[in-house]
Amino acid sequence: MADQSRLHFDATDLAAYLDRIGYSGPVAPDLPTLRALHAHHVAAISFENIDPMFRHTPDLSAHGLMAKLVHGGRGGYCYEQNGLYLGMLQHIGFDAHGLMGRVRWGAPADNVTPRSHMMIHVTLPEGPYLTDAGFGGMTPTGPLKFVADIVQETPHEPFRLLRDGADWLLQAQVAGTWSDVYRFDLNAQIPIDYKASNYYLANSDDSFFTQGIIAARHVAGQRMALGNHNFTIYPTGKSPQRRMLKDAAAICDTLEKEFGIRLPDRDALITRIEAKGA
């Protein structure tokens, strides 16, 4: 029986992935490699929701992730980003597995959200770490050690982990204020555990990902975020630079030029954005 506890990638896949994210340094199951892969991944492979805009369910198999995110020049949302990232970490030899949590970013304090976000747990000689390449505009851009109540610097904003009963709570410091990002436990997840939520997020009328076009990318010194006609650059430690995009064609131009996304069918996406009234 095939091992269904993980996705399986080979040496050719790893080489193509490293080329895709522009990393040519040492590769070993250690903290310097983890930090390097994390930073390069979020700079090269943008967060985006083009498939859910068309009610297409992303293929979370190893073949599907390679075809879309690596060879296809596309991005994706958390199950795709972290599915690919986790598979590569495991292939390299990291002791790593998936987790699942409840998004708290932008949610009212008394709102209980579903368990819908994937992140990754990595065990190193230095201790356990949280790493996450797929939380959209507030993706942490460096691994975070599982130590509660300490401020941890990343290439962008500071983050911290808090204990919340049996759970952990991730917070980010933005403009001097700590805000909840997501809440999660340490129960290990395997690929099948993400299947139902992946379908729901890509097809439901209630899903955030089917409502309008979004994208995010995190390069050295700045974050970039797109929400329909609103395109914002967030230089680290400086005021945001906001731009209103005039139409669907300008949105597609921005997806291609700023986010490096190879659009599968530009004309169809323009039509879809216009139909959504974005």
Quick check: is 117 catalytic?
yes
Query: In the annotation, is 253 catalytic?
Result: no
Q: Which DSSP string do the residues of the chain spell out, in sequence order?
A: ----SS----HHHHHHHHHHHT--S---SSHHHHHHHHHHHHHHS-EE-HHHHTTPPP--SHHHHIIIIISS---B-HHHHHHHHHHHHHHHT-EEEEEEEEE-TT--TT----EEEEEEEEEETTEEEEE-S--GGG--SS-EES-BT--B--SSS-EEEEEETTEEEEEEEETTEEEEEEEE----B-GGGGHHHHHHHHH-TT-GGGTS-EEEEEETTEEEEEETTEEEEEETTS--EEEE--SHHHHHHHHHHTS----S-HHHHHHHHHHHT-
Catalytic residue among 13, 51, 132, 180: 132
| 78 is an active site residue | yes
- Given the residues 13, 40, 78, 229, the one annotated as active site: 78
Active-site annotation holder among 40, 97, 117, 121: 117
Label the pairing between strands 127-131 and 144-145. antiparallel
Enzyme catalytic residues: 78, 117, 132
